[in-house]
Structure 1
Amino acid sequence: MVYSSSLRQAVGAVRSGLGSIGLGSQDARFALHGEHAASTDAPLVLVACSGGRDSMALAFVSQKVCASLGVRCGAIIIDHRLQLGSSDAARTAAMQCGRLGLSPVIRVEVDVDVSRAGEEAGAREARYQALSDVATWFGAAAVLLAHTLDDQAETVLIDLMRSSGVSALTGMSDVIDWNGVTFARPFLGLTREQTTAVCRDCKIAWWDDPTNGAGMSPDAPLPQGYPLRSRVRHTVMPFLERFAGGGVARHLAYGTKSARQDEDFLNACCDEAYSHIVRCDAKGGLLIDASALQTRHAAIRSRVVMHALNELGIAFTSAHVDSIVNLATHWHGQGEVSLPSGYSAKRKKHVIRVCKNGTHANR
C-alpha cells in the first residue's frame, strides 16, 4: 500500500513510542523482507480502542508496526454502558479490530460510579482499572492509548480551569504507570486531523461519540449537560483557534514538555526537602520543622505542605496550604488551622503538628 504523509508520521510515532518503553525488533528475521509471524511468547501490546477515529487509527498502525517488530498486538474495548447503543458500538469496534488482525480482542463491560466525582471521573477510573486488570491478566507489556495533540491541548485548558501553577500546564505524560501496568501515548504529537486522514486513507470506518457533539453545528455551543471535555473540544478550542488565527492547540501541547520538566525538578527538590523537614508522629500525624520549612523557597514550602497533607489523605485547598505555611513564615502565635477529615495543624515552639483533632493535647 502507498503510505500517505499522515500514515508515515503515525507509523513513526508508534515505532518511537514502543521503542521508548523497550519494545524493539524481537528477532533478526524482522529486519528481512517478507512477513514473519511473532513468537507465541513475544511481548504483547494491547490497544485501548473505543471505535473512534483516533483509536481505530492507532489500532491499525500498531498492528502493522508490531508485526514488523515481532511483537504481538491485541485490543481492549471498554463499554461504559452510559449511553444507549454503547454495547453495539463496542461490538462493532471489536469486530473491526479483529478484521485488522489484532489478537486477542477483549471486550469488557464496566460499572461507572458517578456518586463520588461525577460521570467523567468515574468513567475514567473504571476504564483504567479495567484496562490494567486485563493487561495484568494477559501479561501485556503495555497498553497503548490514542490521545492526540488536540487531546493534550484540551487537557491543559481543562486543568487551567480546575487548578493553577506549573502542574496545570504539564498535560498528559507520554508514558505512565497505573497499578503496575505501563500505559503509553504514542499519538501525542499527531493531530486529530492526521488520525482522521489515516482512517480515510486506509478505508477504516469509525464511530463518533454523540456526547462529543458529533453532527451538531460548530457554531452552536454544546449544552451544559455535555461532558466538560466535549464542550471544550466543540466550543472553546474552535473559538480560540479562530481568535488567534490558528496554532493554539499545537502551542498548548508543545508547552507541556518544558512544564513537565519544571514540575519534575520542583518535585525532586520537594522530596529532598521533605526528608529533612517532615517526620511521623507516634499517633499517626506528622511533625513539620517550622524553622527548616521557613528557610526553603516559597515554591518548595507549599509543595512540602501539600505532600504532607496528601500523606495523611486530607482533601485540601490552597487556602489550607497557605495557612499552614504561614505558621512557619508569619508566626505570631495564631491558633490552629482547621483541616478537613477531622484534622488540624497547630504550631508549638518550632514544630507544626498535623494531627487528628483531640490528639494535640499533652504534647
Structure 2
Amino acid sequence: MTHRPSLDPVVAAVRLAVRRGLASVPDGSRIVVGLSGGADSLALTAATVFESARRGIRVVAITVDHGLQEGSEDAAEAARDAAEALGAAARVVRVEVRGAGGPEAAARDARYRALRDAARVEGAAAILTGHTLDDQAETVLLGLARGSGAASLQGMAAASDLDGMPLLRPLLTVPRETTRAACAAEGLTPWDDPHNADARFARVRVRERVLPVLEAELGPGVAEALARTAEQLREDAAAFEEMIDETIEDIVEHAEAGIAVSVAALAANPPALRHRIIRHVVAAEFGESLTRVQTLEVARLVTDWAGQGPIDLPACRAARVGGRVVFTAR
C-alpha cells in the first residue's frame, strides 16, 4: 500500500478557508487573485489554484506594480513567475499612483481599480484578495482611532462589492503567521515589501508597535478578539439596515430639490436608529457621508428644536420645515 504524505496543518487551514470562500463561485468560471508576492497573497494563490482545479475554475493572478520603490518591477515579475509555477495564468499590471488621502490610500485605490479592470477583461466571477485576520485587527484599531463609530469598526467583510464585481477575502479568519508557515511548508519564497516595515505608515505602526503592546499587556488573542468584534458589529449593522429599510418608506417623502423626513417618526425612534436614518438619507440621496457631529446637528432639528436655521452639510442643506426635516441640494 502506497503511503501518502500527510498534509501540513497550516496548508490545510489555508485551503479550507479558500474552499469556503469559493462556495459562491460557479464551477467552470474564472476568478482573479490579487498577488503582491507577499506571504498572504502567495499562500492564497497556491490554495486557490489547488481548490479551483477540482471544480474547473480558472485562476488568473494579477500583480499590481505601483512603481513606488526601486526594484518593484523585478518583484512583480517574480510574483508572476511564482503564480505560473503554481499553475495559474498570471500577468503584471503597472499603475500610476496619484490622488488625495495620502500614499497608502492612493495606492490602495489604484490597486483595486486595476484588479476590477482586470476582472472585467477576464470575465471573472470574483476577485480574491489575501487579507488576513491580522489585517482585520489592524483595520479595526485604525477605525477606533478615527472615532467614526461602529461603521469604521466593522472592518472588512469576507464578501463585498467592488463596482459591481464580487470581492472575496477568504483568509480573514486565518492569522498572518499561518500564511507565512504555509508558504514555508510548500517551498514558496514570499517577497517582503519594504513598505510593510516603514513606520511612516499608520498601519505599519499599528502592526509593529500597537498590537504587540496590547498582546504584551492584555495577553494573547487580541487580534482574534478584534476580528470577532468586527464580525459582531457587521451583524448588528445588517440588522439595523433591515430596520431602516422597513422604516424609511413610511417616514420619507420627496420634496422639491431634495427629500423630507417626518419629525414625529424620527423622534419616535431610538437615537441609534434615528442617526442611522439621517446618515442613510444623505448618503442615498446626495452620495455623501456625514460625520458624527453633523449627524447630531441634524438630529437636534428633531429633538432640540428652538427655531435654529438650516444646517450646511456635504452637498446638501438640512432645515426644519413644519413637521418635517427637509434635505435639499446645495
Q: TM-score range by the shorter chain?
A: over 0.9
Show the counterpart of 1:35: none
Show the counterpart of 1:203: 187
Give structure 1 stretches of 5+ with no counterpart.
27-41, 214-221, 358-363
Normalized against structure 1, the TM-score is what?
Answer: 0.85
**How far does the alpha carbon of each residue in 1:114-169 deviate from its partner, in whole angstroms, 9 at most, with x for none?**
3x222222222111111111111111111111111111111111111113432233
Comparing 309-318 and 131-140, the one that deviates more = 309-318
Instruction: Find the aligned partners of 2:48 and 2:25 in 1 and give their Cα distance.
Output: 15
Instruction: Find the aligned partners of 2:79 and 2:282 in 1 and give their Cα distance.
Output: 43
Give structure 2 stretches of 5+ with no counterpart.
none
Per-residue deviation, 1:202: 0.8
3-state DSSP of counterpart to 2:88: coil
The equivalent position to 1:160 in structure 2, one of 129, 144, 164, is 144
- Matched to 1:75, the amino acid is A
Show the counterpart of 2:282: 309
Alignment of 1:187-266 (within 5 A): 187-213=171-197, 223=199, 226-266=200-240
Alignment of 1:110-189 (within 5 A): 110-114=95-99, 116-189=100-173
Alignment of 1:43-58 (within 5 A): 43-58=29-44
Is structure 2 residue 44 aligned with structure 1 residue 71? no
For the 8 Å contact 1:75–1:97, the answer to whether it is kept is yes
Per-residue deviation, 1:344: 2.4
3-state DSSP of counterpart to 1:171: coil
Comparing 305-314 and 191-200, the one that deviates more = 305-314
**How far does the alpha carbon of each residue in 1:224-280 deviate from its partner, in whole angstroms, 9 at most, with x for none?**
xx2211111111111111111211011111222221111100112122222222223
The equivalent position to 1:81 in structure 2, one of 54, 67, 77, is 67
Show the counterpart of 1:39: none
Instruction: Find the aligned partners of 1:338 and 1:257 in 2 and give their Cα distance.
Output: 34
- Matched to 1:336, the amino acid is P
Instruction: Find the aligned partners of 1:22 and 1:126 in 2 and give their Cα distance.
Output: 25
Instruction: Find the aligned partners of 2:201 and 2:244 in 1 and give their Cα distance.
Output: 35
3-state DSSP of counterpart to 1:120: helix
The equivalent position to 1:331 in structure 2, one of 305, 318, 326, is 305
Is structure 2 residue 302 aligned with structure 1 residue 346? no
For the 8 Å contact 2:129–2:168, the answer to whether it is kept is yes
Per-residue deviation, 1:66: 1.0
Instruction: Find the aligned partners of 1:9 and 1:270 in 2 and give their Cα distance.
Output: 38
**Aligned residue-pair number:** 325
Show the counterpart of 2:7: 3
RMSD: 1.6
The equivalent position to 1:278 in structure 2, one of 247, 252, 276, is 252
Normalized against structure 2, the TM-score is what?
Answer: 0.93
Instruction: Find the aligned partners of 2:238 and 2:22 in 1 and give their Cα distance.
Output: 23
- Matched to 2:48, the amino acid is S
For the 8 Å contact 1:166–1:262, the answer to whether it is kept is no
For the 8 Å contact 2:40–2:131, the answer to whether it is kept is yes
Show the counterpart of 1:292: 265
Instruction: Find the aligned partners of 2:40 and 2:271 in 1 and give their Cα distance.
Output: 42
**Structure with greater helix share of residues:** 2
Per-residue deviation, 1:315: 5.0
3-state DSSP of counterpart to 1:69: coil
Per-residue deviation, 1:288: 1.9
- Matched to 1:110, the amino acid is V
Instruction: Find the aligned partners of 1:287 and 1:348 in 2 and give their Cα distance.
Output: 9
